[in-house]
Amino acid sequence: MVRDDDLLSVQEARDLVEKAYQAARQFRAFSQEQVDAVIDAMAAAADASAETLAQEAVQETGYGVVADKIIKNRLGSRGVYQAIRGMKTVGILREDSQAGIVEIAEPVGVVAAVLPTTNPTSTAIYKILISLKGRNAIVLSPHPNAFNCTCHVADIMYQAARQAGAPEHVIGCIRRPTLPGTQELMKHRRTGVILSTGGTGIVRAAYSSGKPAYGVGPGNVPALLEKTCDVKKAVADVVAGTTFDNGTLCSSEQALVTCEALREQVLIELAANGAYLLNEQEAAAVARVLITPNFTVNAKFVGKAATVIAQAAGLSVPPQTRVLVANVAGVGREYPLSAEKLSPVLALYFVKDFAEALDRCESLLRFGGMGHTCSIHSKDEARIREYGLRMPAFRVVVNSPSTHGSVGLTTGLFPAMTLGCGALGGNVTGDNVGPMHLINIKRIAYEKRTAASLSGGASAPAPSSQLSAISYQPAAVSSSALTPDKQTISRIVQEFMAHKGVTPSAPSALAPAPSPIPHPPSPAPAVPPQAPPPAVVDFVSESDVRIAINKQEKIHIGPRTIVTPAARDLAGGNDVLVMHHSATSKRN
């Protein structure tokens, strides 16, 4: 029997989304207390399995370090849980009585979650928690090289969610992951939003799917050691960041930039932290191993230890080597190690001063890390602020490893495994993505001012100071004031039309029209005259309609009659206006 994995994957994605959609419809009726009970149960279950899942991830993918993946898994379970536990995501979120606004949470429905091979379990834990916190269902699309460990996360958390009362099929995982299956998941009519973490190709596919999407961009993180920094701690932090889980986070340090004055201290501390300084030939050999001729990262060496990379490059390095460091002369394609490497390999730049350091860090970000992350180590607050203002990155980590700080392990940033790069990186947000990104907010808005007060009752902007001085009062218009009001309105209309360059085709009916030929008075008729035909007016205001309603009269209008929107609305339910299509000359 012929099996087509792509077709099977597509059908599986369709089935999972349809089931998730039905679950989401049930889940949206849950109270905040019910949702939080589900979150409590899932976070506890994921945390209890953190070590097992870390081992499975390293075993299946070959990427990273078990001890570090345990930390990441607990960031997803404990860290995210602590950040969202008291967050209100159901019902009325906020009321502003002064503005007259009430904000209400509305879930997006089905979250299509695309998972990476570098962080397959921690990212799954995190995405499931933030999705269900917003009363959404979620369908995971694992990387084909990590689907066993990713779907194991889904199974553990789904079981816990169900025991806590969550609807059936609220969490799904594609077990035959293929690119067509992932594309079907993203484009499915029931999918509400895409939460994509992975390579540039899959993120672009998410943004081109026609669905709302949160994606991420690559990181090429520079770490600046300013001259006032604690060099010993700063170098240790940079090495800790670039070696954490063998550099599999996009926010891990890719380059260390510092001034010449700190050269000797920095080199001493690098050696003390397990760095091996490559010479020019060794650096070229490592670059050939890590960066392909197409200038992409060689997936074979992503997340591999420094010693493994060195061996592949034909180098002999001490067994305790943690990071390979190469002096790099510039930034760009002619300097392969100036790019993102996703491994414990660090580019090293010595510059003459702070101004040149700023230029170098900015060029690194612009080369391959726009909008992502950068870091600075300094005791000079003014220079920290200058660096933060200058860098095209949405996370500027200060005096901490950028890897740990960017995801909220060592900073107050929201703990997240999806780090937006904003418009600079082609993303819809620069935030650390959380539950509030996966709900919509609808607003009840109470009237704070009447529509009539916006323009003084007129249907168009005032053309003159005379118009702006008129205050519209819909009540208390007496019949005795009818003639003066109409004369005033006629003049205003004429001024407005003149202001707009429109010449009236006939004299206004609201102002007396001078007769070009004087006529002697006619003798009194011998018999009572016939009733004249109805007078067709040129202009109708809301006050005219109110008076007609009070008198139980009709207002006769023609094709050229100007009727204000307020007058038409009021007359609509009272049968006041009578149209005469043939009327062209009769006036009142």
Interaxial angle between packed helices 66-74 and 50-61, expressed in degrees from 0 to 180 and rounded to the nearest 10: 130
Among the listed residues 149, 250, 361, 421, the single catalytic one is 250
- Could you tell me if 26 and 161 lie in one domain? yes
In the chain, how many domains are there? 3
| Largest Cα–Cα separation, the chain | 130
Distance CA 342, CA 246 (A): 8
For 513-555, write each residue's pLDDT tens digit.
444 434 444 444 454 555 566 788 877 776 777 788 777 788 8
Single pTM value for the model: 0.76
Please report whether residue 527 resides in a domain.
Answer: no
- Residue 472 pLDDT level (bands cut at 50, 70, 90): very low
**Residue 207 falls within a domain, yes or no?**
yes
For residues 309 and 372, state if they share a domain.
Answer: yes
Residue 339 has pLDDT above 70, yes or no: yes
Residue 264 scores a pLDDT above 90? yes
CATH number of the domain at 314, please: 3.40.309.10
Whether residue 175 is found in the same domain as residue 54: yes
The pLDDT tens digits for 554-571 are 888 887 777 776 677 677
Whether residue 123 is contained in a domain is answered as: yes
Looking at residue 490, its pLDDT comes to 63
Q: Which residues contact 412 (CB under 8 A, 6 or more apart)?
A: none
Element at 503 (helix H, strand E): none
Give residue 482's pLDDT.
38
Q: What is the chain's alpha carbon radius of gyration, rounded to the nearest angstrom?
A: 36
Q: Determine the 3-state secondary structure of 155 from DSSP.
A: helix
Cα–Cα distances in Å, from 172 out to 9, 10, 26, 169, 290? 13, 14, 16, 6, 35
Q: Rounded to whole angstroms, how far apart are CA atoms 115 and 292?
A: 24
Please tell me whether residues 393 and 291 are part of one structural domain.
yes
User: What is the structure's pLDDT at 84?
Assistant: 96
Same domain for 239 and 210, yes or no, is no
* Res 221 pLDDT > 60: yes
**Mean pLDDT along residues 22-51:** 97
CATH of residue 151? 3.40.605.10
Range of the domain at 468: 451-505+533-579
Do 85 and 196 fall within a single domain? yes
Q: What pLDDT, in 10s, does the model give residues 118-127?
A: 999 999 999 9
Residue 403 lies in a domain: no
Same domain, yes or no, for 211 and 264?
Answer: no
Q: Are residues 186 and 326 in the same domain?
A: no
Rounded to an integer, what distance in angstroms lies between the CA atom of residue 27 and that of residue 264?
A: 60
Catalytic residue at 229? no
**Per-residue pLDDT tens over the stretch 353-403:** 999 999 999 999 999 999 999 999 999 999 999 999 999 999 999 999 999
Report angle CA 421, 199, 217 to the nearest 5 degrees: 10
DSSP 8-state symbol, 520: P
Partners of residue 111 on adjacent β-strands:
138, 193
404 domain-assigned: no
Please check whether residues 182 and 251 belong to one and the same domain: no
Same domain, 330 and 308: yes
Tokens, residue 25 = 């419809």
Same domain, 174 and 258: no
Q: What is the mean pLDDT of the chain?
A: 87
Q: What average pLDDT does the segment 98-102 reach?
A: 94
Residue 588 is assigned to a structural domain of this protein: no
